[in-house]
Amino acid sequence: MTKDAVTVINAAGFPETVPMNEFRSAWYPQNPGNPAVARANSIYQRAYQEILNRAGLEVSVVTPGVSVELADAPYAETPELRVKAWLVKYLPEIIAAETKFSVDRRAIAGAIAWEGLVNVHTSFMAGTVRFGGPGKVHIREDRLSKGHPPAEEVEGRGYLPKQSYEARNELLAKPASAITYIAAIMSAYADAASTGGYNIRCQPDILTTFFNGVKVAPNVRGAYEFFKTKKAPEPLKPNPDMGSWVASHLSYIENAVGKPGITQCSVSRGY
């Protein structure tokens, strides 16, 4: 191992060097999504723990039902409690993102919770995934091309500093940076919605609906096109996936992160 990578023997029996974050999330003992370690014994488990300890990382405790990007969630008896504990752990970062980008903290937390509990992935497959880190922020438009996903769009629109593809991937693997990107993307969608006369900054079900990638507006530029014809007060409805889940789980989310603390949420009507 080095500071940033680990050389392992993959399922085909050949050496493979993987980044430390990928090793931590995809090579945990008995990961059913990684055939190289699906039947790992106690010797491998001790080696895994020692490698992460030497790298200064917490050992991942994997509970069935929690997506791999939240592998650093504190141990708890159920997936819901683990994800809640993760949100509490990173509450200062969530509040900071809420304040900087003026978007409801419940939307930020809701996106992370839905991805962690509903859209569960047991491993990252290098070179094929479209996302990275908490909230599964897309790093590619699809599996065949990088395209211009929302994470890149918000850099181009000035919400965040511009990054290379590789640097962006590294940032999105880190919880604090991923939270920042989630809030920036939601802020971009809120700005797009404002051109149609909507204020969605304090509507977590609608913010997460657009973040989830609705067909009518799969990215920020698509949202600006959408709101050329979609105008208030015509209602905006949550999608049946992330948006509706967040709407029905607001008490769970608030129990972890509280209610929004930005001024906009005390005066916003939305539509």
For residue 153, pLDDT beyond 90: yes
pLDDT for 155 beyond 80: yes
Q: Would you mind telling me the total number of residues written for the chain in this entry?
A: 271
Weakest-pLDDT range from 12-16, 71-75, 186-190, 220-224: 71-75
- Split at pLDDT 50, 70, 90, the class of 142 is low
Statement: residue 168 has pLDDT above 70: yes
Question: Is pLDDT at 139 greater than 90 in this prediction?
Answer: no
The reported pTM is 0.76
Among 31-45, 55-69, 118-132, 183-197, the range scoring the smallest mean pLDDT is 118-132
pLDDT in tens, 45-84: 778 878 888 887 765 555 567 888 898 888 777 889 999 9
State the pLDDT confidence band at 126, using cuts at 50, 70 and 90: very low
3-state secondary structure at position 19: strand
Pairing label, strands 5-9, 131-132: unpaired
DSSP letter string over 211-253? HT--TT-SSHHHHHHHTTT--TTSPP---TTHHHHHHHTHHHH
d(CA 125, CA 123): 6
Which residues lie below 8 Å from residue 106, measured CB to CB, with a gap of 6+? 204, 246, 250, 253, 254, 257, 259, 260
| pLDDT tens profile 204-240 | 999 999 999 888 888 999 999 999 999 999 999 999 9
Task: Give the least confident one: 121-130, 173-182, 243-252.
Answer: 121-130
Residue 127 has pLDDT above 50, yes or no: no
The token pair that represents 55 in the structure block = 């790298």
Instruction: Round the CA-based radius of gyration of the chain to a whole number and report it.
Output: 19
Query: What domains lie within the chain, and their CATH numbers?
Result: 5-54 (no CATH), 68-267 (1.10.530)
Note whether 84 and 252 are within 8 A (CB): yes
- Taking a C-beta distance cutoff of 8 angstroms, is the pair 205, 171 a contact? no
Q: Tokens 């809420």 — which residue? A: 98
pLDDT at 144: 57
Residues 117 and 65 sit within 8 Å (Cβ to Cβ) = yes
Count helices and strands in the chain by DSSP H and E runs:
13, 4
**Residue 116: what pLDDT?**
94
37 or 151: which leads in pLDDT: 151
